[in-house]
Amino acid sequence: MNATRNVWSLSLGILFLLIVVVGGGLGSCAAYNSMRVWNAETAGEAELAQARQNRQIATLEAEAKLESAKLLAQAEVERAKGVAEANRIVANGLGGPEGYLRYLYIENLSQSQGKIIYVPTEAGLPILEAGKRPDE
């Protein structure tokens, strides 16, 4: 009787161990699947947060570029006003626009240092055959 009791005890122990192993395996599979789903959800939420952050960064960069362009345009307008005022002062000091243009022409001639070739003109058009004289 002792032997049958040992066999039954051993059988029950093996059965219990088998149930624990199979149950643990099934439980771990279920836990693994739920963990995988949770990881996927968390990764999706992280990607969504990253996309929102990237969109916000792009928006802020675009706003900064717009503000920079506006300020550069204002600076260019102010520079142009200064140049126009300086030109007006110089032109008035030289007797008007005609005197200012003559002054600029003389300045350019002095800076060219022999790089200008004189082309005779008549009525603003170059005379192409300056060396020829009509038969008299």
Q: What burial letters (b/e) apply to 22-61, b meaning 16+ CB within 10 Å?
A: eeeeeeeeeeeeeeeeeeeeeeeeeeeeeeeeeeeeeeee
pTM: 0.44
Q: Of 5-9, 56-60, 121-125, which gets the smallest average pLDDT?
A: 121-125
Q: Break the chain into its structural domains and give their ranges.
A: 9-111
The pLDDT-based confidence of 133 (bands split at 50, 70, 90) is low
Q: Can you list the pairs that 11-16 forms with residues at least 24 positions away whose Cβ atoms lie under 8 Å?
A: none
